[in-house]
Amino acid sequence: MAKYFDVHPDNPQRRTISSVVDLIRSGGLVAYPTDSCFALGCQLGNRDGLGRIRSIRNLDDRHHFTLVCENFAQLGQFVHVDNDVFRAVKAATPGSYTFILPATKEVPRQLLHPKKKTVGVRIPDHGVTQALLAELGEPLLSSTLLLPDEKEPLTQGWEIKERLDHLVDAVVDSGDCGTEPTTVIDFSGGEAEIVRRGAGDTTRFE
């Protein structure tokens, strides 16, 4: 049965954030809010959590998982970013974008795209997500909470608790966080390729 954490969207309670992070560190899988809908998240090296995300979302091995990072310095530990891409990504973060980039050796092999050796990274503009990341001290391995055969992600904490009660360990609810997933930009070939149009404005990448 999933724990339910009600968190203030602008001033997240430190004790609650610590409790969620303790659960993540102990191998838990959580549903949490971001600046572009809810996501599923677990610790970077959590193989069981990764498998549970794949199962919940019915994902194949070509799916790009995302490392949700607190800041640009942290992001730079996990992906290779050349000067031109650096400027483009820096200008768009924090925000509702996911960038696909070549991974460094810090990224566990099971997270990489099998052919491209790439991974998704993002820096969200959301107070609760940032509080979780600051407390955790490392990226969250994440994927949009979009269930198989459904067109839109789940957006209500109570509904997520109801539907995924025995599939996740906790639901973090801070109110409405939108229904539109991130805009996905693939920079792995050197040029910006818009893979998915979502909450982030694409004009700067066109």
Give the residue numbers spanning the domain of 110. Answer: 3-205
Between CA 56 and CA 29 the distance in angstroms is 11
Tokens of residue 130, six digits: 């940032």
For residue 154, what pLDDT is reported? 84
Distance of alpha carbon 166 from alpha carbon 206, whole angstroms: 42
Would you say 32 and 132 are in contact if contact means Cβ atoms under 8 Å apart?
yes
Which residues are 67's β-sheet partners? Answer: 121, 141
State the amino acid at position 96 in one-letter form: S
Distance CA(84)–CA(115), nearest Å, equals 24
- Provide the domain count of the chain: 1
- Strand partners for 69: none
Integer Cα distance of 130 and 49 in angstroms: 21
Residues 6+ apart with CB under 8 A from 148: 57, 58
The Cα–Cα gap between 10 and 107 comes to 31
List of the chain residues with pLDDT < 50: none
How big is the chain by its Cα radius of gyration, in Å?
A: 16
pTM, entire model: 0.95
Supply the pLDDT for residue 72.
Answer: 92
* In contact, 122 and 99? CB cutoff 8 Å: yes
